[in-house]
A and B are shown apart, each in its own frame.
Chain A
Amino acid sequence: MDIELAREVVRTAFRSSAELQALLPVLKQRCSAEEYKSYALGIAAAIDAIGLGLTNRALAAHPGLADEIESSVERQGRF
């Protein structure tokens, strides 16, 4: 996989994760604490699965990408 495609994979993984994260405040507002925690952990597990299946794979192919993501997130909050 070329690095440009690897970047696209990571960006897509981040977008999907952001969409799942957006549910958290809504769930917190409308569910009991117990129910919220159960959903929050489910969302975290889903985001981790995305990270493991996509981000980690792309980073394994292009290890230098990790520093690129880090500095981009540091600088502008996003990759």
Chain B
Amino acid sequence: MKPAGDPQMNRAIPRTSVPAVKRWQSREEIRKEYLDSLSPDALREIEPSYYWLKFGLPAWQRECARKYDPSQPRVPAGNSDGGQWTSSNESTVQRIVEMAKRLNLAARPDAYQRCLDLCYRLLERPQSPGSDRNTWDFHKCMNACLGRNL
């Protein structure tokens, strides 16, 4: 018989960790949970479209929600484009269209609504009577956002 202090007799019962039972999750939910756990930089690298959806779109919407800036440069009155926003506005449009491309929402079930939400503000810009600028930019934005190839 071995003495009571024999380590072999007093072996600790190994604790087996029983994983907590999680509710059933769809593949999409698991993927979303994983993506949400990533840092912004990692997310941008792994899933750029989700990154823009999570961070880019709200930032852009906040930017658009800011009050219209009357000091924004305009084409002087008397020109055919009088009163229209100038180059700084063009870069905003470029940014929106680029963002629409990056979002690549075409595969999402709510794609159409999200794209409308992203692009409709282009129609709100003040423009001179008869100008097609807003329509054309909005058209490009929707095509880019929905991945419509022409």
* Chain A residues within CB distance 8 Å of chain B: 13-14, 17-18, 21, 24, 28, 40-41, 43-45, 47-48, 51-52, 55-56, 59-60, 63, 66, 69-70, 73, 76-79
Contacts and interface: CB of A to CB of B under 8 A. Distances in A.
Contacts of A51: 135, 138-139, 142-143
A63 B149 CA distance: 11
A76 B136 CA distance: 13
Interface of B: 80-81, 84, 113, 116-117, 119-120, 123-124, 127-128, 130-136, 138-139, 142-143, 148, 150
Contacts of B117: 41
Please report whether the interface of chain B is mostly helix, strand, loop or mixed according to DSSP.
helix
B134 A48 contact: no
A71 to B, nearest CB: 11
A18 B132 contact: yes
Contacts of B119: 44
Please report whether the interface of chain A is mostly helix, strand, loop or mixed according to DSSP.
helix
A41 B81 contact: no
A3 to B, nearest CB: 15
A6 to B, nearest CB: 13
Nearest to A43: B123
A8 B116 CA distance: 26
Nearest to A72: B132
A51 B116 CA distance: 13
